[in-house]
Amino acid sequence: MKATEQEAVLTIEDLSIDYQGEKTVHAVKNVTLSLARGEILGLAGESGCGKTTLAYGVNQLLKPPAKIVSGRAIFHDKDGGDIVLSDLKGEPLRAFRWNKISMVFQGAMNSLNPVLNIQSQLEDIFTTHRPAMSKAERRELCGDLLERVGVNRIRVRSFPHELSGGMRQRVMIAMAMALDPQIMIMDEPTTALDVVVQREILREITRLREELGFAVIFITHDLPLLLEISDRIAVMRGGEIVELGDARQVYTNPTHEYTRKLLNSFPSLTGERGDFIRHGRTLEGIS
């Protein structure tokens, strides 16, 4: 799926974000991107390149000294109308988040409140955003959400410390999709997981996207991982998008030297180190 072939749900136009202080840091520089409905857009790059700052800017989560200095992000609501996200303030912004765009934060497994069970934390979403919903409806939905992400509904009574890392991550994904958002931003959602659980989570994300139709911005430094699940990939370096293309093109014919270096930084399962492209490591969905 390409953004040019599908209706866009998000357009980022010439967005720049600075960390202002004694010495200004230009964290995001003139980024222009589009996200199609139902698309998984991978955002790759090394630590500190501006990936998370860009995501926070789109979702209006920046705090001083970070500041959007130019450009804008526009949400194209399927219910009609365009919303310039920087125009949202106060209650309209609170109502917009999670309803339209949700986010799974970096280090999400540690984001759960350790003294509340899972049901209480899931119910809080509906209490805040769906106040007319009855207690019985909230509880039923909590169980349904867990089952949708592959967790037995009886786990609603569990506390975070009673869950494995993979189960906690699934709970965070359930929270992000609770209100049926049109976009889900996922910031390094599998970094702290072992490779087996990581693959299970990736399958769940792909399945849920196909089932529910939301678009995903998947942020990670792990480019081979993005090659497996993404429709398109944007590569960031020093706050700029240096490459953008469909996953197969980025894998087989990267146009930027930095992208080639990222690919070669991951050893092939066969052959010598540094021969990632030459040996053609087989990736599910790519070759």
In a domain, 169, yes or no: no
286, pLDDT greater than 90: no
Flag whether pLDDT at 48 surpasses 70: yes
- Tell me the percentage of the chain whose pLDDT exceeds 70: 90
**In terms of residue numbers, what domain contains 235?**
3-109+181-278
Mean pLDDT in residue range 134-155: 95
Band of pLDDT at residue 128, cut at 50, 70 and 90: very high
Could you tell me the pLDDT band of residue 267, with boundaries at 50, 70 and 90? low
Helix (H, G, I), strand (E, B) or coil at 84: strand
Instruction: Kindly state whether residue 88 falls inside one of the protein's structural domains.
Output: yes
Q: Is residue 93 part of a domain?
A: yes
Query: Could you give the number of structural domains in the chain?
Result: 1
Q: Domain containing 16 — which CATH number?
A: 3.40.50.300
- Segment 185-203 mean pLDDT: 86
Per-residue pLDDT averaged across 224-228, rounded? Answer: 87
For the cut 90, the answer to whether the pLDDT of residue 111 exceeds it is: no
Mean pLDDT of 149-170: 93
- More confident: 74 or 203: 74
Q: Give the CA count within 13 Å in the CB-facing half-sphere of 64.
A: 1
Block residue for tokens 């209650």: 91
Q: If you average pLDDT over residues 101-108, what whole number do you get?
A: 84
Q: Does residue 76 have a pLDDT over 60?
A: yes
Kindly indicate the confidence band of residue 161, based on its pLDDT and cuts at 50, 70 and 90: very high
Tell whether the model's pLDDT for residue 2 goes beyond 50. Answer: no
Determine, yes or no, domain membership for 205: yes
Q: How far is CA 178 from CA 142, 157, 169, 171, 237, in A?
A: 8, 18, 14, 10, 33
Predicted pLDDT at 189: 86
Given pLDDT bands bounded at 50, 70 and 90, which one contains residue 110? confident
pLDDT for residue 285 is more than 50: no
Q: Does residue 176 form part of some domain? A: no
**C-beta neighbour count of 178 within 10 angstroms:** 23
Does 173 reside within a domain?
A: no
Does 17 fall in a domain? yes
Element (H, E) at 103: strand 101-104
Q: Is residue 29 part of a domain?
A: yes
